[in-house]
Amino acid sequence: MVVLPYTVAFLLLSFLQTVKIANSQSFIGINYGQVGDNLPPPSSTAKLLQSTSIQKVRLYGSDPAIIKALANTGIGIVIGTANGDIPGLASDPNFAKSWINTNVLPFYPASNIILITVGNEVMTSNDQNLINKLLPAMQNVQNALNDASLGGKIKVSTVHSMGVLKQSEPPSSGSFDPSYGDLMKGLLEFNSANGSPFAINPYPYFAYRSDTRPETLAFCLFQPNAGRIDGNTKIKYMNMFDAQVDAVYSALNSMGFKNVEIVVAETGWPYKGDDNDGGPSIENAKAYNGNLIAHLRWMVGTPLMPGKSVDTYLFALYDEDLKPGPGSERLSGLFKTDLTMIYDAGLSTSNQTQSPTASPQPSPTATITTTTTSNNNSSTSTSTSTGTGTSTSTGTGTNTISINICSSSNNSSSSSSSSDINKVYLIKIFNLGLLYGFTRLSLICLFFYYLQT
């Protein structure tokens, strides 16, 4: 009984921390590319970001003007080394120290640099020289941070495309391409030893481009669909994002690294593309990004990683008119270069309590699946809330919760927004009610404890 007051205090602090994490939205980030000739000045971009719920920014390089402009904003900053720097970083520890001295030390901690990415999608670049030198480059950058007493404060990793997976369907069978062999194992050992994340670029957009059926589009856009059942776990997936992220988790788990954090370094949907592109549109981009943001805010996680939203960096802050490749590569921005929104994905702090409508697309549902496992056997129950407010349930042996996060697609945009606002307010009231009830319970426990003593 002596430990009762401390137990109650610990539980109360844990609950408060959970509420704080859910409200901080620190899991929402954005990619800030600079391959353009009409981008606004960094100071204006810093003010724009502060007017949104975006808490983290990923740079592909280490532009000092941008890093300096983000000083004292509290925004987490990911900076990157160019792929071309990898050979030098790998072969010369002094070059790594010079890179840290130039790109980190003059700005940190006023500029909240949280991660350094060494290269981008190197493992799928088909450049064997870069691939072989990636890990030594990461190690030298880490050593340079350690020498500057920043090793525990700024993490080091690299960014991968989904091409590093040999298999991603079903999600529970996710596995890395065996051709990477010991190279991938070495990278994962580095991540595990240094507490750095495995950064990946999942794009449901590309999955849709390879399968343009309407049901695939709905699955990719978080809209009502029949779902896809993983034959191994019997889990029903209701959106492609969760399926792709869980495939990565399964691949990590298969190699013994399930505790390495996953970070979504890029994901998004272009609002315009070339004439032969069927997927890009304002409606689809708004549906994907808006519904993804709502999904993250619900903190439901994924079926294999429930209860926590992975850090997710949207692609992208602005269009990049000088970027090579298809038109969709240049036209994925959420904001125009005059700082106005291309479409409202629900990022503005003035309306972040709203879940953006995806008219004329249907609205999504959120399915929370609880799985219990005993002696390697699992039973799964899935409850799916439909756009009309009804609920259907399949499976046995577990408790399920079904939450309809958007109103019916038959409603008008104004009624949908109003409904979404009401739902968020109800959630806040529910959280306050839980906090109030938990506090009363804690006080009652303490009261009876002191009566007994």
CB within 8 A of 299, min separation 6: which ones? 22, 307, 308, 309
Type of residue at 268: G
Evaluate the CA torsion angle 129, 263, 82, 30 in order and state its sign: positive
C-alpha–C-alpha distance, residues 355 and 184, integer Å: 38
Q: Which of 77, 35, 70, 87 is nearest to 56 (CA)?
A: 77
CB within 8 A of 187, min separation 6: which ones? 123, 134, 135, 138, 158
Structure tokens at 49: 């970001």
- Any idea how long the chain is? 453
Reduce the DSSP state of residue 308 to 3 states and report it.
coil
Angle between helix 128-147 and helix 181-194 axes, rounded to 10 deg = 20
> Could you tell me if 260 and 320 are in contact, meaning their C-beta atoms sit under 8 angstroms apart?
no
266 is a catalytic site residue:
yes
Other CB atoms within 10 A of residue 261 CB: 18
Strands (E), 82-204: 113-120, 155-161, 165-167, 175-176, 198-201
> Could you tell me if 191 and 260 are in contact, meaning their C-beta atoms sit under 8 angstroms apart?
yes
- Residue 29 dihedral angles phi and psi, to the nearest 5°: -125, 180
C-alpha–C-alpha distance, residues 241 and 297, integer Å: 14
C-alpha–C-alpha distance, residues 97 and 359, integer Å: 51
C-alpha–C-alpha distance, residues 190 and 138, integer Å: 8
C-alpha–C-alpha distance, residues 3 and 375, integer Å: 34
The terminus-to-terminus CA distance of the chain in angstroms comes to 9
121 is a catalytic site residue:
yes
Q: Determine the longest span between alpha carbons in the chain, in angstroms.
A: 78
Residue of 261, 266, 320, 329 marked catalytic: 266
Structure tokens at 249: 């988790």
What DSSP designation does 233 have? T
Q: How far is CA 75 from CA 62, 153, 253, 268, 394, in A?
A: 15, 15, 31, 20, 43
Residue of 121, 261, 320, 329 marked catalytic: 121
Cis peptide before 109 (omega within 30 of 0): yes
What amino acid positions are annotated as catalytic residues? 121, 266
